Chain A
């Protein structure tokens, strides 16, 4: 079994006290990130991604459940976690410091800090290090945040919406650095996003969260290989099944989204007299919309 660098068990984070008016930003989250993987943590705005990351970083305390990072408890051992993990959450550094000042400021905090890496990323990402943080463009601010996280030489990098608001060129620059320089080195990247195409480009695992619950956690390759949409017409069509993620019906056509064994499922429908219109592979974006774009979800589906 692979080593887990992030693991949450029944993680709950509620805001607004413990009464009826409290809101669960994270609601029983069971998340598993394997060492060496690139994990795309997907969800709409307000789905619970940032709250989960804040709990992992020790910035927020879980209401119940547990969160472990690099085998350490996020509540009890935050310092040991922070020494070995690079977090980029709000993309806001100390506004009046220059890039070079921020490098100098960070250096003393991290035992594995590398000035050479900082210099290298400053050059390759073309960051104006002699300009104050508050005067940098949005893209350069994000790049500088990433530079500081990378130069601390972390085992795990946790990024919250790193490409939000960036133009395609900067996005491509960042993703290349993350994959080629960081993840290819066998280190783990956990990245939240709602830009599915970017995640699909680089991730090998995805987790889809909505309303604080993890709806899906699977290898991207498994999704590509196994997830199918089956459209069928007929009477007495089944209303569920072990591999069925969602079911919908439009104008007499039933649409099933299956996490596996689509051909077998289609054969079963045929044997019950149904007509199969098509069995189509699905991309991440379609699966995301099926899971998150609907009101009623079939609960968590985990492919080990």
Chain B
């Protein structure tokens, strides 16, 4: 029953995200939105174009999924505390963590669902492009520094995981902020933390080039320092993903500690 409360709060945002994906799918399937690729001398699409397209799709998802995660993170117990209904909600006979993990779990699940759907659509779009071109490229991606083609599904999967880790982090930061402040201002604090980190990264890179702060988005591709085009898949993505998952989980755990110790 409690999930129903979160669903009531988030359903409009989730519905809009589903509509957005559905609209994109319709545009692609109907052929209204056509992506043209540069073709080489052979008449086949340039393999590097496909890799570039995959990397671009990753970056294109960043603002949309960040916004979606930010809004989703504003729902739940933190929102109720901000609306002064915390004393009502937390006198329902359940432990405080019970409310918190249901919020976080259900919100995260909705995010994951939306991101998987979006990436499946992107995968299908690229698969169609490759399929239309025919030939040996079908179902795989060529990267400059990789000898054998990389399966398209693997790249899409990695993109999807990178987006989930990124959106989960934004979602967790916002959720944590609303619980910490017990106020709607927590939503702005969440955005402030993320933007502050991005600005800090830029400043550090500018003044201390030797120091590189971890990127909020997992790096899926290695890029050429000259052309900035993807040349290979990144190394150590497993540990990077595990680290990101751990950092992502710090926020709901932190929120739990604050909520359990806090007074309403």
User: A87 near B94 (CB under 8 angstroms)?
Assistant: no
What 0/1 readout, one digit per residue, does chain B (22-55) give for beta carbons within 8 Å of chain A? 0000000000000000000000000000000000
Decide if A61 touches B83 in the complex (CB within 8 Å). Answer: no
B1 and A104 within 8 A (CB): yes
Distance from B191 Cβ to chain A, minimum over Cβ atoms (Å): 23
Closest to A84 in B: B93
Q: Which of B5, B89, B90, B93 has the most C-beta atoms of chain A within 10 angstroms of its own C-beta?
A: B93
Docked complex: A49-83 residues within 8 A CB-CB of B: 54, 57-61, 79-80, 82-83
Contact indicator A92/B85 (Cβ below 8 Å)? yes
- Whether A106 lies near B83 (C-beta < 8 A) is no
> Across the interface, do A59 and B87 meet the contact criterion of CB distance under 8 Å?
yes
| Docked pose: A80 CA to B80 CA in angstroms | 23
Q: Are B91 and A87 in contact (CB under 8 A)?
A: yes
Q: Contacts A79-B95, A97-B8 given: A59-B90 contact, CB under 8 Å?
A: yes
- Chain B residues whose CB sits within 8 angstroms of the CB of A80 once the complex forms: 93
Q: A60-B263, A105-B5 are in contact. Are A94 and B93 (CB under 8 A)?
A: no
Partner of A92, one of B5, B84, B90: B84
B83 touches A57 (CB 8 A): no
Asked whether A89 is an interface residue with its Cβ less than 8 Å from the other chain, the reply is yes
Per-residue interface assignment for chain B, residues 53 to 92, with 1 indicating a CB less than 8 Å from any chain A CB and 0 otherwise? 0000000000000000000000000001001111111111
Residues of B within 8 A of A54 (CB): 87, 263-264
Q: Which residues of B contact A79 (CB under 8 A)?
A: 93-95
Q: Which residue of B lies closest to A111 (CB)?
A: B93
State the Cβ distance, B100 to closest chain A Cβ, in Å. 15
Kindly list chain A residues whose C-beta atoms are within 8 Å of the C-beta of B4: 104-105
- Min C-beta distance of B109 to chain A, whole Å: 20
Q: Which of B87, B92, B264 contacts A109 (CB 8 A)?
A: B92
In the bound assembly, the distance between CA atoms of A145 and B88 in angstroms comes to: 9
Q: Is A265 in contact with chain B by the CB < 8 A criterion?
A: no
Q: Which of A102-135 contact B (CB under 8 A)?
A: 104-110
A94–B85 contact, CB under 8 A?
yes
Knowing A79-B94, A82-B93, say if A92 contacts B264 (CB, 8 Å): no
* Bound CA–CA A58/B243 (angstroms): 36
Given contacts A105-B4, A106-B92, A107-B1, contact A57 B87 (CB under 8 A): yes
Contact A105 B263, beta carbon cutoff 8 Å: no
CB within 8 A of B1: which of A87, A92, A109? A109
A89 B87 Cβ-Cβ under 8 A:
yes
Question: What B residues does A136 contact at CB under 8 A?
Answer: none
Which B residues are in CB contact (< 8 Å) with A233? none
Give the chain B neighbours of A58 by CB distance below 8 A: 90-91
A93 close to B91 (CB less than 8 A)? no
- The residue in chain B whose Cβ has the minimal distance to the Cβ of A85 is B91
> Does A22 make an interface contact (CB < 8 A)?
no
What CA separation (Å) do A97 and B83 show in the bound complex? 13
Cα distance, A129 to B263, chains bound together (Å) = 31
Minimal beta-carbon separation of A25 from chain B (angstroms): 11
Contacts of A221 in B (CB 8 A): none
> What string of 1s and 0s marks CB contacts (under 8 Å) between B83-120 and chain A?
11111111111110000000000000000000000000
A-contacting residues, B4-20, CB 8 Å: 4-5, 8-9
Residue contacts A-B, CB under 8 angstroms, 28 given: A54-B87, A54-B263, A57-B87, A58-B90, A60-B263, A61-B263, A79-B93, A80-B93, A82-B92, A83-B93, A87-B91, A89-B88, A90-B88, A92-B84, A92-B85, A92-B88, A93-B88, A94-B5, A94-B80, A95-B85, A105-B1, A105-B2, A105-B4, A108-B1, A108-B2, A109-B1, A109-B92, A109-B93
The 9 closest A-B pairs by CB, nearest first: A108-B1, A82-B93, A59-B264, A83-B93, A109-B92, A60-B263, A89-B87, A87-B91, A92-B84
A-to-B contact residues, CB < 8 Å? 54, 57-61, 79-80, 82-83, 87, 89-90, 92-97, 101, 104-110, 145
Beyond A90-B85, A97-B8, 15 extra complex contacts between A and B, CB < 8 Å: A57-B87, A89-B88, A90-B87, A90-B88, A92-B83, A92-B84, A94-B80, A94-B83, A94-B85, A94-B88, A94-B89, A95-B83, A105-B2, A105-B4, A105-B5
Interface of B with A (CB < 8 Å)? Answer: 1-2, 4-5, 8-9, 80, 83-95, 263-264
